[in-house]
Amino acid sequence: MLNNKADFILEYNEKLKQNLNRNDVDWSQLKVMFLANSFTPYQKSAINFKDLHIELWEVKVFDNDTILYNQIEAQEMKESIKTISRIKTPAAVVREIKTYTLDHHLEKKPDKIKNLFYILRERI
């Protein structure tokens, strides 16, 4: 998507009959989510790259119309996608996407907010 922003915006505008501009999108938080009944081992291993922002979700629909969503978690964050790719595109894409951690989000928050967050997180 990052290499084809204009195509993505055009597709979005045509499908939703809206007028979204390229600069209206925060491209730094791009994530691709795949939903399917199941995934192959090869597909599951794709989420193990530390700088490839992909999520896999298995979706099961039951007879009583209950839907179960199960996120496939990465086994271990191994190497960078840049180490196995011979093209320059992944490196350019990785530079454009920012990864934020929990520490980043709590960094400038007052201690009271941080404490409330940790209490709520523990209870959940």
- At residue 22, the pLDDT reads 77
Cα within 13 Å of Cα(21), Cβ side: 2
Distance CA 12, CA 25 (A): 11
pTM for the full predicted model: 0.51
Query: Rounded mean pLDDT of the chain?
Result: 81
Residue pLDDT, tens place only, 77-109: 666 655 555 545 555 665 666 667 788 888 889
- At residue 66, the pLDDT reads 95
Structure tokens at 6: 């204009």
Distance CA 15, CA 35 (A): 20
- At residue 62, the pLDDT reads 94
In the chain, the DSSP E strands lie at: 32-36, 54-61, 67-72
- pLDDT for 120 beyond 80: yes
Highest mean pLDDT, choosing among 3-12, 61-70, 73-82, 98-107 = 61-70
Residue pLDDT, tens place only, 11-51: 889 999 988 887 888 877 778 889 999 999 888 888 887 76
Q: Exposed (0-12), middle (13-18) or buried (19+): which is 32, by Cβ within 10 Å? A: exposed
